[in-house]
Amino acid sequence: MSTRNPSWPTLPNAQVDVISHTIVSEDNLREIQGVTASEQHAMIDVGDTLSVVFFNNSSLGCAGTVTIWHNKHQAAVKTYSASITGEWLDADNLVVTDAEEEGWTVNGELVTGCLAMDLNGSQGIYSCGEFYRGI
């Protein structure tokens, strides 16, 4: 059964559900691999504390999974069109990559930072502690 973490904000027309939150053991490894993307399997170790989150954002036309390694502060996002891996920022609910991006805000300001994605499937730029969605 999936549950929703109330601290994980959702956008209108978006759904976020926790599929699994567990410590990986020899006994549940195959089950966890069954709900994670195949390219993430090599990253999963016995003893990891994992959350697997499903998101469906109809306003963006995307759906996918976020796998969070709480003990490693890492996360990976898999959608039908993209896959990113990076640092998990728990306080911001963001996956932040090492890939640098730049873009313009709606106010005409140039923003340079790292490519990031939130739990709603929105991509943006993370710069100076702020997430600029949709840049």
Domain boundaries, the chain: 14-133
Question: Do 79 and 122 contact (CB within 8 A), yes or no?
Answer: no
**pLDDT surpasses 90 at 58:** no
Helix (H, G, I), strand (E, B) or coil at 22: strand
**pLDDT surpasses 90 at 86:** yes
Q: How far is the C-alpha of 11 from the C-alpha of 31, rounded, in Å?
A: 30
- Least confident window among 17-21, 24-28, 76-80, 104-108: 17-21
Angle of CA points 68, 21, 38, to nearest 5°: 55
* pLDDT band, very low/low/confident/very high, at 9 (cuts 50, 70, 90): low
* pLDDT band, very low/low/confident/very high, at 15 (cuts 50, 70, 90): confident
**pLDDT in the model for residue 4:** 40
**pLDDT in the model for residue 1:** 32
Strand order in the sheet with 14-23: 14-23, 49-57, 62-69, 74-79, 83-89, 94-104, 110-118, 123-127, 130-133
54 versus 97: the higher-pLDDT residue is 97
Q: pTM for this one?
A: 0.83
Helix (H, G, I), strand (E, B) or coil at 32: helix
